[in-house]
Structure 1
Amino acid sequence: MDKSGMFVGGAIGAIMVIAIVAVLFSTPPESLKPEISVTDGNSANAVEEIAPIFSNKLSLIEIFEKSEPGVVRVNVQRGESDDITGGVGSGFVFDKKGHIITNAHVVKNASKVIVTFLDGRSYNAEIIGADEYTDIAVIKVSADLALLNPLSIGDSSNLKVGEGIAAIGNPFGLSGSMTSGIVSQLGRLLPSADSAYQIPDVIQTDAAINPGNSGGPLLNMRGEIVGINTAIQSATGEFTGVGFAIPSQTVAKIVPTLIEEGEYKHPWIGIAGRDIDPDMAKVLDLQDAVGFLVITVVEDSPAFDAGLIGSDKTIEVEGRNYPVGGDIILAVDGKEVRKIDDILIHLQRAKSVGDEMVIEILRDGRTTDVTLVLQERPNEN
């Protein structure tokens, strides 16, 4: 992907690679679950019950007026200079205590962070916690309570491809700018800045996102935050129709822990490998090109303890070398694995450190189940 994956606060995303499988996760908190449920089997009643979820839509003007007071500009200084030239990003107010959410790459290596509110008043901010593996950071200001207008966090699991959304931020330093578009796709993988790990379950959008938008809110048509704008895919560094946002489900899980502990501990499997493509399926004599071939198992990892086997040799076919002999992951907890994305998204949505996970593997032509216990991801250093 050369330099096409770019974090819009200034950091360039790493080339997409299949890395050691490790991500966070648990089920969404109760506060994010839909409040309306349908128990009546009558279809007419069902429509009447569900309708309020979708009928409360706002115009783009209403969304902007409702949300703008809670969106801030984040200026960052790196180094010792008094001139604040380190970069500019966006953020939004999380609570009345002065906590503000932005991207981890926006405040990375910052010696000074300044938050500017809608009325132009600025405050020095303290970095409370950051997690580069989900590109989320929490900063805090001691500001006038009247300026602290928390935005509502919505449930990104309700998003549908084609649904209208809006982004607010400070592209190119132009404060309080709004763009709109649709949800282009869900469940994307995005390289995290300066890390071999990838951020799973990311929202893709065609709403214009440019440098300076990083950390700003992605909003649904009810004015609820469903994501944090974080990156674009571009060869020039400017928006070309593909933007990415961290989903609000991830935000709701990570932020409280960052506020309390300053960091988030991610669970870890400890394998590396590659997706089964048609050529690999032919070499391995597989009927379908689905699954994930385990090539490397990290010593003392959950996968190692559970007895997963990596590839131990390669064979050459038509001038290309193919790894063979490793386990092929077909499913996790009963969910089909077509490629690495399915493993990562399941981990993010349903698992946390200490959980058991049942992995269905193909080994020596036979399928079998292996149970492993997720451990805390080790430091990359």
Structure 2
Amino acid sequence: MTYPDPYSRPTPDRFIRRWLVITASVAALMLLWQFLPAIEAWFSPREAAERTVTPRGDLAADEKATIELFDKSRASVVYITTAQLVRDAWSRNVFSVPRGTGSGFIWDEAGHVVTNFHVIQGASSATVKLADGRDYQAVLVGTSPAHDIAVLKIGVGFKRPPAVPVGTSVDLKVGQKVFAIGNPFGLDWTLTTGIVSALDRTLDGEGGGPAIDHLIQTDAAINPGNSGGPLLDSAGRLIGINTAIYSPSGASAGIGFSVPVDTVMRVVPQIIKTGKYIRPALGIEVDEQLNARLQALIGSKGVFVLRVTPGSAAQKAGLTGVDVGPQGISPGDRIVSIDGSTVDDVAQLLARLDDKKVGDVVILSVDRAGKSREVQVELQPGV
């Protein structure tokens, strides 16, 4: 390219200056744009314009129902704090330190409070706080670790809190609404909602303890501190006790579990009456590990009777256990079902028995030496 006038040819310095001017202009415009609201506010009148409130209108029917349910149920829910005695390593003095918090609910007018066993496990004392702010020292009535249920008692002399209405869990349907009230992370009397996500779930017990069966699964938010609180249906009736969550992080992941109220109705009255829950039993000895080995040996499921307790209901019904004689080991009876419900292993046998009561007559389907037969057994108190 040629230039007629040598002085009109752009030099590098002129080219740089031109781009600097353009860049500075763009930057100035951007800065002005950023400060434009502030400049506008500076020159605007200092008086703020009044805003009118937009009418809300009536609440939706489901909102009204939820609010009413919480208002009616709140007084039946309690906040539980526990403490533990510890000994100072240097002074050897014993003192009380906070241990944890949880939830519970009023069971009856006598002041019985139902919560989870793991809420009070290892504690030396528990304080129950009512919805109206009153605090009471609780006395432990009894527990059933196999169901993660504990019963406390408080002495309310006047203005007694109402007992929670009791419903049923056998007729629950996946998809129906549920409501959980409790004290997650110490935030007292919190309401969360969800649905029944699944039924008849089983969780393994902690530390090798017995599994908890027939649990209700829900997506209602259940967090640490909700344990022991009530799970309610849309009528405000108790349908379960919130007991556990599945969570990789420790917080709610939308998978919570509740002990069904049908189990609570079977366990709690017995704890109140005797201080413990006595499981119905057959009067036989079984072992999970040996049972698994015998199953693998013969290739069949069921529960092998290892020994029949003398004088037990099982002996009266004619059941036999493993016999060791000159001819070798005879496996004895193998229980395959109770009242038509299959029994695959020891845990399932205990779960089937736990659905019954002491004194109930059950029909066992048993296999002996390849031959099936049915026997009737009247359930006796377990050890």
TM (normalized to structure 2)? 0.69
Q: CA deviation at 1:146?
A: 2.5
What is the 5 A alignment of 1:268-279?
Answer: 268-269=281-282, 270-273=285-288
CA distance in 1, matches of 2:140, 2:79: 15
Per the TM alignment, residue 77 of structure 1 is displaced from its structure 2 partner at its CA by 0.6
Query: 2:3 corresponds to which residue?
Result: none
**Alpha-carbon distance change, 119 to 252 in structure 1, aligned in 2, over 3 angstroms:** same
Uncovered stretches (5+) of structure 1, i.e. residues with no partner = 1-55, 313-323
Structure 1 residues 122 and 302: alpha-carbon distance in aligned structure 2, compared to 1, 3 A threshold: same
* Matches of 1:310 and 1:163, distance apart in 2: 48
Count of residue correspondences: 305
What is the root-mean-square deviation of aligned Cα atoms in Å? 3.4
Q: Quick one: which amino acid aligns to residue 302 of structure 2?
A: F
* 2:169 and 2:260 in contact (8 A); partners too: yes
In the other structure, the counterpart of 1:66 is 72
- In structure 1, what residue type is equivalent to 2:352? H
Query: Could you tell me which of 139, 163, 171 is aligned with 2:184?
Result: 171
- TM-superposed CA distance for 1:58, in Å, is 7.5
Which structure has greater helix proportion? 2
Q: 1:366 aligns with which of 352, 365, 371?
A: 371
Partner of 2:304: 294
How far did residue 346 of structure 1 move? 3.4
CA shift for structure 1 position 295: 7.3
Greater Cα offset, 295-304 or 197-206: 295-304
Q: Map Cα deviations across residues 106-128 of structure 1 (whole Å, 9 max, x no partner).
A: 12232211011223221111112
1:194-213 correspondence runs (5 A): 196-213=209-226
| Aligned AA (2:71) | E
Alignment check: 8 A CA contact 2:142 2:152 kept: yes
How far apart are residue 130 of structure 1 and its match?
A: 1.7
Q: 1:341 to 1:261 in 2, by over 3 A?
A: closer
CA contact (8 A) 1:105 1:193 kept: no
Q: Which residue of 2 aligns with 1:126?
A: 139
| Distance verdict in 2 for CA 1:295–1:65, change over 3 Å | same
- Offset of residue 172 of structure 1: 1.3
After superposition, the Cα gap between the structure-2 partners of 1:238 and 1:147, relative to the gap in structure 1 and judged at 3 Å, is same
1:370 to partner: Cα distance: 3.4
Residue 272 of structure 1 contacts residue 297 of structure 1 at CA under 8 Å; is this kept in 2?
no
CA contact (8 A) 2:229 2:242 kept: yes
Q: Distance in 2 between matches of 1:342 and 1:83?
A: 41
The letter for the 2-side match of 1:361 is V
| Counterpart residue number, 2:319 | 307
Corresponding residue for residue 229 of structure 2: 216
Cα distance in 1, alignment partners of residues 270 and 123 from structure 2: 21
Q: Partners of 1:296 and 1:234 in 2: how far apart?
A: 39
**Cα contact 1:75–1:115 (8 A) shared by 2:** yes
Cα distance in 2 between the residues matched to 1:203 and 1:174:
24
Contact 1:133 1:195 in 2 (8 A): no
Within 1, Cα distance between the matches of 2:241 and 2:382?
Answer: 24
2:118 to 93, 105, 116: 105
Give identity over the alignment, percent.
38
**Which of 316, 325, 346 is the equivalent residue of 2:352?**
346
CA contact (8 A) 1:273 1:296 kept: no
Query: How far apart in 1 are the matches of 2:375 and 2:320?
Result: 8
Q: Do the aligned residues in 1 keep the contact of 2:230 with 2:240 (CA within 8 Å)?
A: yes
Structure 1 stretch 174-183 or stretch 231-240: which is displaced more? 231-240
2:281–2:353 Cα contact (<8 Å) kept: no
Q: Secondary structure at the match of 2:270?
A: helix
Question: Deviating runs (4+, > 6 A) in structure 1?
Answer: none
CA drift of 1:353 comes to 2.6
Q: Deviations over 1:180-232 (max 9, x none)?
A: 22222222223445563233222222222111111100101111001111112
1 or 2 for the larger relative contact order (CA 8 Å, sep ≥6)? 1
Partner Cα distance (1:58, 1:338) in 2: 47
**Matching residue of 2:46:** none
Q: How does 1:69-84 map to 2 (within 5 A)?
A: 69-80=75-86, 84=97
Alpha-carbon shift at residue 355 of structure 1 (Å) = 3.6
SS in 1 for 2:98: coil
Q: CA deviation at 1:298?
A: 6.8
CA 1:66–1:358 in structure 2 vs 1: closer, same or farther (change >3 Å)? same
Q: Would the aligned equivalents of 1:156 and 1:226 in 2 still touch at CA under 8 Å?
A: yes
One-letter amino acid of the structure 1 residue matched with residue 130 of structure 2? F
Q: 2:239 pairs with 226, 229, 232, which one?
A: 226
Instruction: Summarize the Cα distance change of 1:297–1:273 in structure 2 as closer, same or farther, 3 Å threshold.
Output: farther
Residue number among 262, 273, 294 corresponding to 1:260 in the alignment: 273
> Residues of 2 paired with 1:74 and 1:152: CA distance?
20
How far is 1:261 from its partner? 2.1
Paired letter, 1:71:
V
Q: Is the 8 A contact 1:356 1:371 kept in 2?
A: yes
Q: Which has the larger radius of gyration?
A: 2
Alignment partner, residue 43 of structure 1: none
- Report the 3-state secondary structure (helix = DSSP H, G, I; strand = E; otherwise coil) of the residue aligned with 2:138: strand
Kept in 1: contact 2:84–2:96 (CA 8 A):
no
- Summarize the Cα distance change of 1:203–1:298 in structure 2 as closer, same or farther, 3 Å threshold: farther
Cross-structure match for 2:340:
334
Between stretches 69-78 and 128-137, larger displacement belongs to 128-137
